[in-house]
Amino acid sequence: MLQRALQKNSPGETQTVTAVESPRVVAFLGDSLTAGPGLSMKETLPAVIQQKIGGRQLSWVAQNSGVSGDTTALALARLNWVLRSKPKVVVVALGSNDGLRGLAVDEMERNLRSIVGKSQAAGSKVVLVGQQLPLNFPDDFRAKFAAVFPRVAREYRIALVPFMLEGVALDERFVLEDGIHPNAEGARRIAENIWPVLFPVLKQANKSNGPGR
């Protein structure tokens, strides 16, 4: 969206048009790891990223589009609503609930491909956030699951965060009492995993012209 201010001049003079571009949106499409149950709004992953963006003086708004319990299928079903804000960047942090529920890996991959493809078709750059399953899952299932993320990122030529919970998973210092969801410090550590990949994408998208996309 552009807000245009017209400067009135004397008759015969050309009007001056000043275009002020609204902040660009980076949407975080995810599940509870993004939504941040048990955390204040200022402690969630997107809020921590927003703080990093502010420190870099970039004109971006981090949109928390995380819904607790979301699978890739549920997120795909609401994707059009998320894209209504015309995000220039979409961070896709999904798949953990698919894996924990033992849903078909092939179906998860199809859903991720649809999410990435539709986001790109809407004019958004995409960052894919890799997931891994706990060690109590069969090795072959864990390997098949983990392989989806780099494959999708490679084929769609998008940036990849190797593992969302690197340095956080299984560490009781960084999770809530449920032993699963990150606490405030855990969210900050997840942001540290994502930021080095996300920042160059934001800089690249910031160079493009036009509002929204």
Q: Is residue 154 part of a domain?
A: yes
Selected residue with higher pLDDT from 143 and 20: 143
Parent domain of 158: 26-206
Mean pLDDT, range 120-134, rounded to an integer? 97
CA distances in angstroms from 42 to 50, 52, 120, 138, 173, listed in the order given: 9, 12, 29, 37, 19
CA distances in angstroms from 213 to 21, 30, 60, 125, listed in the order given: 12, 20, 12, 9
pLDDT given for residue 178 in this prediction: 84
pLDDT given for residue 20 in this prediction: 39
DSSP type of residue 210: S
Q: Is residue 5 part of a domain?
A: no
Q: What is the CATH number of the domain that holds 67?
A: 3.40.50.1110
Mean pLDDT, range 72-83, rounded to an integer? 98
The answer to whether 93 and 34 are in contact (CB under 8 A) is yes
Q: Is residue 7 part of a domain?
A: no
- DSSP letters for 23-65: PEEEEEEESHHHH-TTS-GGGSHHHHHHHHHHHTT--EEEEEE
DSSP H or E stretch at residue 196 = helix 184-206
Mean pLDDT, range 117-140, rounded to an integer? 97
CA distance 138 to 141: 5
- Average pLDDT of the chain is 88
Active site residues: 32, 178, 181
Residue 162 has pLDDT above 80, yes or no: yes
| Reported pTM | 0.87
CA distances in angstroms from 108 to 64, 115, 128, listed in the order given: 22, 11, 13
Q: Is residue 30 part of a domain?
A: yes
Q: Is residue 8 part of a domain?
A: no
Q: How many domains are there within the chain? A: 1
